Structure 1
Amino acid sequence: MTQIQKVEWPTLAMLAACYGIWLGAGLWLYPVAPWGALAVMAVMAGFHTSLQHEALHGHPTRNANLNELLVALPLAVAYPYRRFKALHLRHHRDESLTDPYDDPESWYVAEGDHARLPAPMRRLLAINNTFLGRLVIGPPLMVFGFLRDEVRNLIAGSRGVRRAWVHHGLGLGVLFAIVWGVMGIHPLVYVGVVAWGGMSLIAIRTYCEHRWEETPDGRTVIVEDSRILSWLFLNNNLHLVHHRLPRAPWYALPRLYRERRAQWIAANRAYVYRSYWDIVRAHALSPKDPVIHPALRRATRAIDRPASVAGGFQPSGRTPSAGPAEALPVAARPEH
């Protein structure tokens, strides 16, 4: 078989369903029930980020360019696919998970950086560490931090970043030609309801995905029974399985978990929730983690370090790394 012929049909079916439901909601439901249509589109925008996550890990084909094309329409607006890919693959260096500088998706803040923040920002970050806070203010904090650092990357001329944004700009042009020109939805309404809502949906999954633990496997969660959310998250509720086997397709993760359930739970030091409802009950208004990393970066100097912002707001003034294939100049690399 050629690379393009070897495809994962369940993932292609999910892509077709995502785009079809999104289009149907905007074209036919919006004129008669606008808020219902926007809610459906928000769910599909969140679902689309799960599909983008599959694509960056090499699905549904073995051709990376074709995978990118399949998820190129940026339904959730904020993140260029190529930047998401570079930063997320860096996140998969499990030995660096939760590090405030070296993990692109860490919400922890280094102690020295936290001390320099104004009191209102420290308060916002504390609220953001509750489940409801993450859903409400997590998306704007995340996007603000990401865009701020991307501007620094563009000014620095980091390799690949400008091209990623050019591709993203073309995708946004097509998106808003459909949303505004065909569906009649104002771009600000789309961003404020659909995009924000989609990011909030994904925040349900990412809220408990990682914690600090001495062993890398102990830093990654398993949520066993997520019902319909497992479809929207493409089984990434079984997050440790994904981290250990990142090339496994989404539909294989439940079987891989069932076959070795006891070993998976032992490996992650029983960082397991029965369902997302258990997370809501435990942490709706109570932070799961401290804002300051409990073990790493206890005494940091006020210097720029690359790392990321794909997952969390990083207030230190750092510039995010463009990833293994898009390295920053040597002077901007982190000290190890």
Structure 2
Amino acid sequence: MAGRGIEWPTMGLTALVYGGWLALTYFHSDIPLVLLLPAAAWFMAWHMSLQHEVIHDHPTPFRWVNDFIGFWPLGLWLPYAIYRHSHRCHHQNDRLTDPIDDPESYYLTPAQAKRLRHRFVHFYRVIDTLAGRVVLGPLHGILVFLAGQAWRLMTGNRKLLGIWALHAAGIVPILFWVLVVCDMSLWSYLLVFVYPGFALALVRSFAEHRAAPATAHRTAIVENAPVLGLLFLYNNLHVVHHDKPGLPWYAIPAYYRRHRERLVAGNGGLVYDGYLDVADRFLFRPHDRLVHPAYPEEVTGYDSSDRQLGHVRRAVATVGE
């Protein structure tokens, strides 16, 4: 990263995100819930977008500064080090959507699907709709993640223990601020800030990728999303992010406009006209089939101890090894 300076728009965004969170938590009792809930969801989701940005070595040339910006666990449940590791694994573009190798895949192998009881297969189909992803996706993601982490810790992953110890140290000032300084109950914080924020962030990831034989056809574009585009730091134009992961968020729209014809042709025309288009197609209909099409139905025998079900659990299984 030699020669790259500080990206001041992202530094300003950092101040805005953390400042907004501090203000909303401090004045929560003075803000009507009908206003507090969407504002809290926005800033929590914005924080996740900011973390995603710093994971890709923004906004400074110094890793320790970037990690300091992204480290603070406003959402409580996900250690930054694990998010950084799993998301970088996701950027193995030739393995995108693969249920074994892509830590952010919601697809299953036939063997994994067969091990699920019928009711859980139905649940997975529900969370493959936009409505299901928003309403139940945070519960699914958090519980599966924590269960997988508990399993890894019980099997003696010492590096993971260190990650969680550091994460716990980061949670202490967050909870002190929320519970003591702001006099907010933990349940209020979880239900007004954490859960809605994660749910809103899942709108972005819902239609970002789709299984296809050609690697380049697996990454989507959501055009005409000025408001949610800003919230997601323009990763709605997701093909740009996978094409140029080092490009700062504020440079993505201009890059997309200059190269739109090539990018749309390159991703096979996987383009949505805003998030209303995504909702119109998938609000109550599955985004795709449950079982990944690259795996023939006769494939069986994956070791369940190493191939845990759930996108986050599979991702963090490699941490510390």
Task: Report the TM-score, using the length of structure 2 for normalisation.
Answer: 0.93
Indicate how the Cα distance of structure 1 residues 281 and 319 shifts in structure 2: closer, same or farther if over 3 A, else same: closer
Q: How does 1:1-336 map to 2 (within 5 A)?
A: 6-34=5-33, 36-158=35-157, 160-296=159-295, 298=297, 299-304=299-304, 306=306, 312=311, 320-323=316-319, 326-327=320-321
How many Å separate the matches in 2 of 1:204 and 1:80?
21
* 3-state SS, counterpart of residue 71 of structure 2: coil
Structure 1 residue runs of 4 or more that deviate by more than 6 Å after TM superposition: none
Indicate how the Cα distance of structure 1 residues 285 and 32 shifts in structure 2: closer, same or farther if over 3 A, else same: closer
Deviation at 1:241, TM superposition (A): 0.8
How many Å separate the matches in 2 of 1:305 and 1:218?
31
Supply the AA of the counterpart residue of 2:317.
S
Alpha-carbon contact 2:86-2:315 (below 8 Å) kept: no
Indicate how the Cα distance of structure 1 residues 162 and 93 shifts in structure 2: closer, same or farther if over 3 A, else same: same
Gap regions ≥5 residues in structure 1: 328-336
Deviation at 1:38, TM superposition (A): 3.9
Q: Deviations over 1:201-246 (max 9, x none)?
A: 1111111011101111110011111111111100100111101111
Deviation at 1:305, TM superposition (A): 6.3
Deviation at 1:104, TM superposition (A): 0.2
Structure with more helix by fraction: 2
Q: Which residue number corresponds to residue 334 of structure 1?
A: none
Q: Which residue number corresponds to residue 331 of structure 1?
A: none
Deviation at 1:199, TM superposition (A): 0.8
Alpha-carbon contact 2:102-2:315 (below 8 Å) kept: no
Alpha-carbon contact 1:46-1:201 (below 8 Å) kept: yes
Task: Report the TM-score, using the length of structure 1 for normalisation.
Answer: 0.89
Deviates more, 1:160-169 or 1:224-233: 160-169
Alpha-carbon contact 1:158-1:322 (below 8 Å) kept: no
Indicate how the Cα distance of structure 1 residues 307 and 274 shifts in structure 2: closer, same or farther if over 3 A, else same: farther
Alpha-carbon contact 1:144-1:313 (below 8 Å) kept: no
* 3-state SS, counterpart of residue 169 of structure 1: helix
Deviates more, 1:257-266 or 1:71-80: 71-80
Deviation at 1:297, TM superposition (A): 6.0
How many Å separate the matches in 2 of 1:159 and 1:61?
30
Q: Deviations over 1:255-291 (max 9, x none)?
A: 1111111110111110111101100011111111111
Deviates more, 1:292-301 or 1:274-283: 292-301
Deviates more, 1:82-91 or 1:159-168: 159-168
Deviation at 1:306, TM superposition (A): 4.4
How many Å separate the matches in 2 of 1:10 and 1:114?
44
**Alignment: residue pair count:** 320
Gap regions ≥5 residues in structure 2: none
Supply the AA of the counterpart residue of 1:275.
G
How many Å separate the matches in 1 of 2:287 and 2:277?
12
Indicate how the Cα distance of structure 1 residues 176 and 217 shifts in structure 2: closer, same or farther if over 3 A, else same: same
How many Å separate the matches in 2 of 1:307 and 1:189?
35
Indicate how the Cα distance of structure 1 residues 2 and 273 shifts in structure 2: closer, same or farther if over 3 A, else same: closer
Q: Deviations over 1:67-87 (max 9, x none)?
A: 111122211222100000000
